[in-house]
Amino acid sequence: MAEEMWCTIESDPGVFTELIAGMGCQGVQVEEVYSLDESTLQELSPMYGLIFLFKWQNKKNQATPPPPVDTNAEHVFFANQVINNACATQAILSILLNRNDIEIGQELKNFKEFTADFPPDMKGLAISNSELIRTVHNSFARSDPFVNEIVDPNAGKDQDVYHFIAYTPIHGALYELDGLSRGPINLGPCDENNWINQANEAIQRRMQGYGASELHFSLMALTKDRLELYEEEIEELDGLLLSLGEDAVEQRNGLNQERSLLEHKLHLEKEKRARWHRENVLRKHNFIPIIYNLLRNLAEKDQLVPLVAKAKEKAAARHQ
């Protein structure tokens, strides 16, 4: 089955940013969103879409029926989810393949054109069979050094299941794109200035359907690449500085302050990207061999048993 070939990947903006780049997209990144207030929106602008993570509930058991799907949305790329472990990747694709202002790369352009006339279920199958999408997705699999030969058929039945959906404006309307729905859900007319507020309202409605103790929600935004944005803004300021006359001292000082702030932001962003890349490398690395050899060397030097005994003593002392 298709889902057996897809791994589970961690919900993390660094993972998703490198995943998007691996599929050939340029000029975008993913950022975690903790609030949709004005200052946050200004900091993350321009924003292309939102990705919402929540604990999945069986809609059949919900008192409020889900909103109707838009049956006249042929202009929307919508795919049914047929892969259990790839809802995050599919939510990201739901934004990438519905925006005309993102450079998605030639392979995704070809994929979008090839599947343009497919119904949602066939689009979902096309995603599951895409060598590019599957390979990039699976490249973020955590290294698993152990092979379980016995599989418990009841394992995972009581575990929570989490799901990703996307929100993005398409041709003047805000759409909720949930691969588990029959089709895209039109949340009403919008523009590039107010769609985020409408999406926030839809997300709040979803959250209100859970108990007050439920905290397992996450919101991420697909935004313009901060590195490119800051570099473009610095270049623009440099042009303004060159155009100023010698007597425009106050204006020059103000622009230089703005430039220094942008340089600082650019530096922080480069550090964050380096940290993301290192974390992604560590996610994929198998540490079992080094741990095994370390423990073996300690045992050969008769140091392992004393260390274990000391650790047990410290644990006992903490519990007293």
Which positions are catalytic? 87, 163
| Dist CA 139 CA 131 (whole Å) | 12
What DSSP element (H or E) covers 300?
Answer: helix 288-300
Q: Cβ contacts of residue 134 below 8 Å, gap of 6+?
A: 5, 6, 128
What torsion, rounded to 10 degrees, do the Cα atoms 183, 186, 190, 192 define?
-20
> Which residues are CB-neighbours of 70 under 8 A, at least 6 positions away?
76, 175, 183, 184, 185, 186
**CB-count burial class (<10 Å; 0-12, 13-18, 19+) for 266:** middle
CA distance 309 to 39: 53
Task: From residue 41, give the alpha-carbon distance in Å to each of 46, 145, 193.
Answer: 8, 42, 10
Query: Looking at 216-283, which runs of residues are DSSP E strands?
Result: 218-224
R_g over Cα of the chain: 24
Please check whether residue 28 is in contact with residue 102, taking contact to mean a CB–CB distance below 8 angstroms.
yes
d(CA 219, CA 119): 28
Peptide bond into 184 cis (omega under 30): no
Contacts of 311 (CB under 8 A, 6+ apart): none
In three-state form (DSSP H/G/I as H, E/B as E, the rest C), the secondary structure along 175-197 is EEECCCCCCCEEEEECCCCCHHH
